[in-house]
Structure 1
Amino acid sequence: MIPTLEQLEKKETQTTGLRFIETLDELKQFYTGILDEYKDQEYYVIGNAQHWEDLDNEWFQQFRHDRGRNNIKTKLLLTKDSEGSSPTDPALLRDVKFLPSKYSYKSSIDIFDNKIVVISPELSSLAVVIQIPIMQDVFGSIFQMLWDTVEALEK
């Protein structure tokens, strides 16, 4: 998906609600902004915690603590291989469910009320921010459906 989106001209990306994050520093700036923008709110994540943390383990662990201090709650649907590295500290305000092991991937999708962020360290752009209301609506609904049925997927 990201390589196709990258082919859009800069002018087109501004009008279509896409922004590419090229570097780890840009991604950190994005997440730092989330600490204020989403204070006292909630967002959802579908992802692989290990690949997300591996970008900069120390920084992302600190981000989790900062996010909790800002009263930002998260609901996370993580890959089964994330289970061993997923913290359980209640102060982090995380509600986590794990997908069955047959559902494995390296990317993460953060679903906010006004945007979606797709993070994939294996592509030429580290992440893409999608600010298209219908996309947020679709991804938010898919998240809720998975959240409500994840236990049934194990069977």
Structure 2
Amino acid sequence: MESPKRSSPPSSGASWCIASQSASQKVLQIALDYACGYGGTDCSAIQAGQRCYNPNTIHDHASYAFNSYYQKNPVPNSCNFGGTAVITSTDPSTMACQYTSTSTSSSVLNTTNSKGSTVFGAVPSSPTPSAATCQEINVLQRLLLLTIVSLRLFHINYLYG
């Protein structure tokens, strides 16, 4: 049985990362495995009998895992998963399964330039790498690995398919 969707309107300034409707089941499963494994996402809520298990689809489970990863790493590149994920401003939560959100107006995506103007999507400059910069590099390395795995899967499907 599918959980009813929340009836709240889209939240202004908030964002969620969900699985793309156009992604294949096979590639979504690989990305889900990555997010819950190497990506370090806590996927206990999408296990059988838990609050976010239903609806029991790869798409819904991947959406929960992708969003959990994105909320821990709230930069646009952390919602990619080899092209299987998209950022949305519509809350994907259900009554039983609440997704956390990132407010873009107060996230690490924004910084201020030397004139005091807000620069959205910028990384603050510093003479030595900050923890945030190292985290972004880590995210990029993980996404590169996922992209390589996705390309290999595509190649295997093409050859043996």
The TM-score by the shorter chain falls in which range? under 0.3
Larger radius of gyration: 2
- TM-score by length of structure 2 reads 0.27
